[in-house]
Amino acid sequence: MNNQSPHFSFPKAFETRMENILDADWTKFAQAHTQAAPVSIRVNPKKKFSPELPHVPWSDFGFYLQERPIFTLDPIFHAGAYYVQEASSLFLEQALKQTVDLTQPLRVLDLCAAPGGKSTHLLSLLSNDSLLISNEVIRARAQILWENIQKWGHPNVIVTNSDPSAFQQLKGYFDVIVVDAPCSGEGLFRKDADACKEWSEENINLCAQRQRRILNDVWPALKENGVLIYSTCTYNANENEANLNALADEYNVEFVSLKLNPEWNIETISSNNAIGYRFYPHRVQGEGFFISAMIKKESADRLKLKSNSKLNTPSTKIIERLKPWTLASEQFRWIQQQDLIIQIPESLLNEIDFISKLFFPLGKGTAVAELKHDKLVPEHAFALSNFINTDFFQATDLNESEAIAYLRKDVLAISEGLKCFGLVRYKNQNLGWVNHLGNRTNNLYPANWRIRMSAGINPSPE
């Protein structure tokens, strides 16, 4: 019997399967798909942005919005003060907090990281002396990932564009590996009409095979007693429980039973020895999602990283000029790649150098400035850094229309009497740089980041 609302059409085979699984709850599940998807954001705790909004219950950083604004027209979003992220996926925070000591320096791999939701979430949870490698195999998506990482403002990160199998070079290196696997997207039907149209049993099988290959490829890179967190945005057992059981059949795996608040309405899944957690849109204020955490109980030799190369560093004179730019400058080192000067945590320098030689990353650390002859031209990423000494620079506060004009890379008239590189800000959040020339202002916002939408309404989600 089909109790589905006529306003949403599921693929027939999917509908039959889910009716059998959900039984009496099928009607609620179908009805949930006729309602607007919840809108949620995750704030950047380093940017001191604290909206007065209802909390996502399993995340310290997640908030629900009453309606979906036009995020493209919100300067706070472009400042990296928050990330638009689906609420169910924020449960990664619980999986991490309940399996590792986040006060310790950890080596973490986010394997399928674009567009950056889980990587930026990880950066907010990890200590400053931890290292995150954020990877995306598709080049165009990796570029978007790097942009979002820069907005988040942390220097303890490398962004790579590699196949999962490449990480076998780092045997036993990672304390945590997060695999948010490409999937059939059943949990996103309400939000993504294309996911529903492209769904097929054949695609499920292809996804399951690809997911299994990804897990097998990256397993050697996890250290003994390291934690693997596996997640998808699908309900299908072939892509979830079956993959976990296949992994447990081949390797020595201990699944972690996470503590849940009963009010969260998250379903615990047990299949043979595998344990996972499933989110249904009729039970939680979020989309469909699946997650599992497991510990590698196999002996594994941990690769010892050594970097014997002589790093190219700026001159002492340049370094002394850079130090006042940065809060806690003694914690950082500056390296020079051609004319680009990059800031890297002192404690991670050798590891980042070693890994860079293996993977040729798209980006690492924080780009601080470009050296042009004897002039230091500040880089946009440094304006968004959580370690910039804002007091050292001339800062100009913009109103909303000026801020949007800046993000569109329009001409601003804010330089009267000023001749210097300066920050522009909106509601205490850095947006980027301008070059004050006394009688005119050069807008230095990156051309490939500029927004192309015209302002028409107040977009602020605050």
Average pLDDT over residues 134-155: 98
pLDDT for residue 459: 42
- Which range, of 113-117, 140-144, 175-179, 194-198, averages the lowest pLDDT? 194-198
pLDDT, one tens digit per residue, over 270-299 is 999 899 999 999 999 999 999 999 999 998
Region 298-317 average pLDDT: 82
The mean-pLDDT minimum among 3-12, 136-145, 431-440 falls in 3-12
- The pTM (predicted TM-score) of the whole model is 0.95
Which residue has 């490829």 as its token pair?
217
Residue intervals of the chain classified under CATH 3.10.450 are 310-391
| 8 Å CB contact between 49 and 76 | yes
pLDDT of residue 6: 47
Is the model's pLDDT at 97 over the cut of 60? yes
Point out the least confidently predicted range of 119-133, 187-201, 391-405, 444-458: 444-458
Among residues 112, 196, 207, 233, which one is catalytic?
233
Mean pLDDT (whole number) for 49-61: 96
Give mean pLDDT, residues 128-150: 97
Residues of the chain with CATH 3.40.50.150: 89-296
**pLDDT for 450:** 96
Q: Using alpha carbons only, give the angle 211, 214, 219 rounded to the nearest 5 degrees.
A: 125
The average confidence (pLDDT) of the chain is: 94
Per-residue pLDDT tens digits for 187-197: 999 988 888 99
Q: Is 233 a catalytic residue?
A: yes
* DSSP letter for each residue of 88-109: GGGGHHHHHHTTS-TTS--EEE
Phi, psi of 48 (to 5 degrees): 55, 50
CATH 3.40.50.150 fits 89-296, yes or no: yes
Q: How many residues does the chain have?
A: 462
Does the domain made of 310-391 have the CATH classification 1.20.1730?
A: no
